[in-house]
Amino acid sequence: MTEQTSRVFVYGTLLTGEVNHEIAAPYLQNVKPGKVKGKLYDVGSYPALVVDQEGEVVGEWLTITIDGIRRMDELEDYEEGRNDNEYERVWIRDCTQEIEGYVYVYHPDKALHLPLIESGSWRQHRPKKRNA
């Protein structure tokens, strides 16, 4: 019997080679580059995505087991139906290819005073933070 999987779009510390990728790695079936409509904000040691038709966020689509999604929910402190989640897990489509799945998004009001990551890419932005 094959284990049930789903896709999750990641754009920050869960990306391949980033600090929290080890949380997803044991449950990973496939990785594919992708882009979604949104804006990326700098929260400090991690980014936050706000869905927005004006921008694009660069990341990866992870095909991951349901146990992997549970582990990612723990990392993002997400609990279905809870009112005070820092992130919400919602369904999203890639803007350049026929892929869709979950993504962890930030509430737009929480991002109002955060610095915008103009490139839409955490990988491009993070090294600049160290040099600043």
Q: Which of 56, 76, 86, 98 is catalytic?
A: 76
Burial of 98 (0-12, 13-18, 19+ CB in 10 A): exposed
Find out whether 20 and 72 touch, Cβ atoms under 8 Å: no
Q: Is 118 an annotated catalytic residue?
A: no
Catalytic amino acids?
A: 76
